Amino acid sequence: MSDILVQPVLRSPEIDAGRLLHRIRELARIGLDDSTGGITREGFSAADRRAQAYLMGQAREAGLAPAVDAAGNVLIRRSSSDGHSTDRPAILMGSHLDTVVNGGRLDGAYGVLAALEVLQACAEAGVESRYDLVAAAFANEEGALFPQPFWGSMALAGRLADLPREPLDHRGRPLRDALRAAGGDLDALGSAVWPHGSVAAYLELHIEQGPVLERAGHSIGIVEAITGRSLLTIQVRGSAGHSGTTPMEGRHDALAAAARVVLAAEEISRGQGLCRVATVGRVDPHPNTPNTIAGAVRMTVDLRDTDAGRLSAAERALRTALQRIASRTGTEIDVVADTRSAPVAADRRLRAAIAHSADELRLSHMPLPSGAGHDAQIVADIAPIAMIFVPSIGGLSHVPEEDTKPADLVGGAQVLLRTVLRAAATERI
Ligand SMILES: [Zn+2]
């Protein structure tokens, strides 16, 4: 059995830096709000469809054959060297084209355009591959309009039971129609599922969306694991009352209790180090008026770690803290909803292949966790996965200022290309 690390790179396809950067600029015009400089390209919106059309047009111009599956994913397959499609397993690479509201131009889009560039470079150089190379733009990763994030990758990975049957957007409009407009078909969703064994490896190139690489001065990040997440929705119930006439003694102030929950969550991560990060991102006090003691508060706590054991320990510690705060403040505190996603480890051999590729290109690299969720964590259900990160200037993402130096964008694509070539030449990934 051959080994992924020692496979020589037989031919030398090259990333066309000018072409890649030009496409990034072109795509960034779709969904652009001139007043803010931000991009709003929510999944299954008209802007998202225009981005999809742009990608498919570029693929066709490159002599490649793009297709849209029933879930609305764009798939561009380069089959065997004679151009005929086969039932060989694929090396899949990609990301997503949709954005959050008023987001940046690189989150997702960069990984998709780099995957197209790698595919095109391989086609132009006539690279022989043991595997079909496939570039993917997964549908609705962000879930900004239709609140079903990871929609496309979940369908591809066969998680149909976890998807709603008739998904609706925030305003109650059916996904069914928007999906049809994008070339998909809700009734044929099963046809979008890729069976186990059909993906030999999945590689996702993405901006870091955080400050770690920039601070460390490295140009490539090799993701060790994608963080797991516990999102708890918490209801605090106290007693509302007049803020002027109710003595401090004997109050059951739900917002004062909620403030202690905020500090407890912070303490669990920053103080006790039980999980990597803990965040209270939403606090909704009721009635939320200046002269009434809050009678109830609904709030969220978001706990994240790349280790499942640590994540559940942090959640247990939080629940214990909630009981303590409830008894001290004379309130009732309940966890009314929870959403959990397990951490996903990146494949060890693919990580080593990325490191090897970066070394050859003399690009400095470091391992790091991914604090954000990515399609890769879903595709991990059916394939070994790995992710390559490039630095985000100022660590900014999901904002109009989101950016990465051109040299880093090109370097990331070069690492992706070399890693794909290594994997493509390996008998068993
Ligand atoms: Zn993304």
Domain assignment present for 429: no
What is the Å distance from ligand 1's center to 404 Cα? 14
Phi-psi region of 187 (alpha: psi -120 to 50; beta: other; left: phi over 0): alpha
pLDDT in the model for residue 11: 53
Domain assignment present for 382: yes
Nearest to 420 by CA among 193, 120, 57, 209: 120
Q: What does the DSSP assignment read for 39-104?
A: B---TTSHHHHHHHHHHHHHHHHTT-EEEE-TTS-EEEEE-STTS---S--EEEEEEE----TTB-
CA atoms of 166 and 131, how far apart (whole Å):
36
What is the Å distance from ligand 1's center to 34 Cα? 22
Nearest to 202 by CA among 111, 298, 317: 111
pLDDT in the model for residue 363: 98
* pLDDT reading at 7 higher than 70: no
pLDDT in the model for residue 3: 64
CA atoms of 133 and 116, how far apart (whole Å):
10
What is the Å distance from ligand 1's center to 279 Cα? 20
Tell me, yes or no, whether 15 and 120 share the same domain: yes
- Judged by average pLDDT, the poorest of 1-5, 145-149, 327-331 is 1-5
What is the Å distance from ligand 1's center to 102 Cα? 14
Tell me, yes or no, whether 333 and 347 share the same domain: no
Tell me, yes or no, whether 258 and 286 share the same domain: yes
**392 in Cβ contact with 402 (< 8 Å):** yes
CA atoms of 11 and 122, how far apart (whole Å):
9
pLDDT in the model for residue 338: 84
Domain assignment present for 29: yes
Domain holding 270, by residue range, is 229-341
Tokens linked to 388 = 């390559």
Nearest to 237 by CA among 335, 332, 336: 332
CATH code of the domain containing 362: 3.40.630.10
Tell me, yes or no, whether 308 and 386 share the same domain: no
What is the Å distance from ligand 1's center to 207 Cα? 8
Domain boundary among the residues 307, 341, 375 is at: 341
What is the Å distance from ligand 1's center to 78 Cα? 24
Model confidence band, residue 251 (pLDDT cutoffs 50, 70, 90): very high
Domain assignment present for 186: yes
Domain boundary among the residues 282, 317, 341 is at: 341
* pLDDT reading at 315 higher than 90: yes
* pLDDT reading at 231 higher than 70: yes
Tell me, yes or no, whether 124 and 17 share the same domain: yes
Sign, CA torsion 176/177/181/185: positive
What is the Å distance from ligand 1's center to 387 Cα? 11
pLDDT in the model for residue 86: 55
What is the Å distance from ligand 1's center to 18 Cα? 23
Give the pLDDT confidence of 278-297 residue by residue, as tens digits. Answer: 999 999 999 999 999 999 99
Nearest to 368 by CA among 238, 178, 227: 227
Total of domains in the chain = 2
Tell me, yes or no, whether 133 and 208 share the same domain: yes
The kind and range of the H/E element at 232 are strand 228-237
Q: 90-96 and 199-207 as β-strands: parallel, antiparallel, unpaired?
A: parallel
What is the Å distance from ligand 1's center to 100 Cα? 9
What is the Å distance from ligand 1's center to 403 Cα? 13
Domain assignment present for 179: yes
HEC string of 240-278 equals CEECCCCCCCCCCCHHHHHHHHHHHHHHHHHHCCCCCEE
CA atoms of 257 and 371, how far apart (whole Å):
28
Tell me, yes or no, whether 246 and 111 share the same domain: no
Q: Which residues contact 127 (CB under 8 A, 6 or more apart)?
A: 10, 11, 13, 81, 421, 424
**132 in Cβ contact with 55 (< 8 Å):** no
Q: Which residues contact 259 (CB under 8 A, 6 or more apart)?
A: none
What is the Å distance from ligand 1's center to 400 Cα? 14
Tell me, yes or no, whether 369 and 334 share the same domain: no
Tell me, yes or no, whether 190 and 297 share the same domain: no
Q: What is the mean pLDDT of the chain?
A: 94
Q: For tokens 């001139």, name the residue.
A: 34
pLDDT in the model for residue 274: 98
What is the Å distance from ligand 1's center to 206 Cα? 7
Domain boundary among the residues 288, 321, 341 is at: 341
pLDDT in the model for residue 426: 86
Give the pLDDT confidence of 15-36 residue by residue, as tens digits. Answer: 999 999 999 999 999 999 999 9
What is the Å distance from ligand 1's center to 295 Cα? 38
What is the Å distance from ligand 1's center to 333 Cα? 34
What is the Å distance from ligand 1's center to 107 Cα? 5
Nearest to 368 by CA among 341, 390, 399: 390
Domain assignment present for 388: yes
Give the pLDDT confidence of 344-379 residue by residue, as tens digits. Answer: 999 999 999 999 999 999 999 999 999 999 999 999
CA atoms of 363 and 66, how far apart (whole Å):
32
What is the Å distance from ligand 1's center to 248 Cα? 48
What is the Å distance from ligand 1's center to 108 Cα? 4
What is the Å distance from ligand 1's center to 374 Cα? 6
Tell me, yes or no, whether 111 and 259 share the same domain: no
Tell me, yes or no, whether 24 and 115 share the same domain: yes
What is the Å distance from ligand 1's center to 151 Cα? 13
What is the Å distance from ligand 1's center to 229 Cα? 16
Model confidence band, residue 1 (pLDDT cutoffs 50, 70, 90): very low
* pLDDT reading at 221 higher than 60: yes
Q: Please name the amino acid found at residue 119.
A: L
Domain assignment present for 89: yes
What is the Å distance from ligand 1's center to 97 Cα? 8
Model confidence band, residue 2 (pLDDT cutoffs 50, 70, 90): low
CATH code of the domain containing 329: 3.30.70.360
What is the Å distance from ligand 1's center to 247 Cα? 50
Tell me, yes or no, whether 272 and 175 share the same domain: no
Global pTM reads 0.88
Give the pLDDT confidence of 56-104 residue by residue, as tens digits. Answer: 999 999 999 999 999 999 999 987 554 445 578 999 999 999 999 999 9
* pLDDT reading at 6 higher than 70: no
Residue 285's beta-bridge partner residues?
297
What is the Å distance from ligand 1's center to 142 Cα? 7
- Greatest Cα pair distance, the chain, in angstroms, is 84
